Amino acid sequence: MLSKLKQECGASFTSKLEGMFRDMELSKDVMIQFKQHLQHQRLPSNIDMAVNILTMGYWPTYTPVEINLPVEMVHYQDTFKKFYLGKHSGRKLLWQNTLGHCVLRSSFTEENVKDLQVSLFQALVLLMFNERDNLPFDDIRSETGIEDSELRRTLQSLACGKARVIMKTPKGKDIGDNDTFLFNAEFKHKLFRIKINQIQMKETPEENVNTTERVFQDRQYQIDAAIVRIMKTRKTLSHNLLVSEVYNQLKFPVKPADLKKRIESLIERDYMERDKEIQNQYHYVA
């Protein structure tokens, strides 16, 4: 599929996607080497860690979020960092905690054992119940270091969602500063492995702007790809016919002014050119 896309739209359209695939393949090799390295390390045997090394230029940008990880997790991170940078001097590792996820083996009773597939934030909250049966909101906030609105969203998913592995008092869908949370020893589910989804919060105005910008950026690539695909097939087209065919191929509305900008951009990048004699006619540049 990637090679077909590259053939249709050119290498510049697929360079980031190729980089993503390359990152994932290289990460598999790194983890094989890291597992071998761990055989000579004294680390908790009940924890297994997998790391994906993502090159910043290929992937969406995320704001780093500081949280308080358990000592065991920090030890694993430090061990991996020392191992990786020892092989790749000059590189920099930045942990993206918002992208982390975990599988926790959870014993509700001796007979009722489940694997919970959760985000890293959800895992930090649940791990606190290894030490205490009930926890006030403020204690969870101070111990995990999770940002306030993110923590409320995390607690909602665990105490108010479909899989309520913890309970809260007083009851209700909103998370208050004075709420207390209890481990739900009576939790039951027909599946052994349960994925607990995060609850989506409404976007802030700033988040909405960022989302709009990302959508616009993604759509620019789709518009460019459609234009190149059409011009490669037709070789020569008038402006009106090109616009008409682009509209037929795209599944979202495009303003004529935005479409004109994408055509200009492709001309500047030598994907197509204007006819020297016939006005509003374009030729594909092989």
The domain boundary residue, chosen from 167, 202, 237: 202
How many of the other CB atoms lie within 10 Å of CB of 37? Answer: 16
Q: How far is CA 164 from CA 116, 172, 225, 232, in A?
A: 11, 13, 45, 54
Give CA–CA dist 169/164, Å, rounded. 13
Q: Are 100 and 120 in contact (CB under 8 A)?
A: yes
Query: Same structural domain for residues 211 and 248?
Result: yes
Q: Looking at the DSSP assignment, which residues form a beta bridge with residue 281?
A: 238
Check which CATH number belongs to the domain holding 152 and give it.
Answer: 3.30.230.130
The domain boundary residue, chosen from 202, 231, 264: 202
Query: Same structural domain for residues 47 and 104?
Result: no
Query: Same structural domain for residues 94 and 104?
Result: no
Query: Same structural domain for residues 104 and 198?
Result: yes
Query: Same structural domain for residues 191 and 210?
Result: no
Check which CATH number belongs to the domain holding 211 and give it.
Answer: 1.10.10.10
Give CA–CA dist 2/9, Å, rounded. 10
Query: Same structural domain for residues 123 and 88?
Result: no
pLDDT for position 116? 95
**Dihedral angle over CA of 157, 110, 73, 168, nearest 10:** 30
**Crossing angle of helices 120-127/137-144, nearest 10°?**
120
Q: Give the neighbor-by-neighbor strand order of the sheet with 272-274.
A: 236-238, 281-284, 272-274
Q: Nearest 5°: phi and psi at 226?
A: -65, -45
Per-residue pLDDT of the chain (286 residues; tens, 9 = 90+): 667 666 666 666 678 888 899 999 999 999 999 999 988 877 777 788 999 999 988 888 888 899 999 999 999 999 999 999 999 888 999 999 999 999 999 999 889 999 999 999 999 999 999 999 899 999 999 999 999 999 999 999 999 988 999 999 999 888 999 999 999 999 999 999 999 988 765 555 665 666 666 777 778 888 998 999 999 999 999 999 999 999 998 888 888 888 999 999 999 999 999 999 998 999 999 7
Query: Same structural domain for residues 17 and 89?
Result: yes
The domain boundary residue, chosen from 168, 184, 202: 202
Query: Same structural domain for residues 1 and 33?
Result: yes
Query: Same structural domain for residues 35 and 88?
Result: yes
Domain boundaries, position 47: 1-98
Which DSSP helix (H) or strand (E) runs through 271?
Answer: none
Can you spell out the DSSP letters for 68-128? ---HHHHHHHHHHHHHHHHHSTT------GGG-EEEEEEESSSS-EEEEEEEHHHHHHHHG
Query: Same structural domain for residues 87 and 119?
Result: no
Q: Could you tell me how many helices (H) and strands (E) the chain has, helices first?
A: 9, 9
pTM (2 d.p.):
0.69
What is the number of structural domains in the chain?
A: 3
Query: Same structural domain for residues 191 and 223?
Result: no
Give CA–CA dist 97/62, Å, rounded. 10
Query: Same structural domain for residues 198 and 211?
Result: no
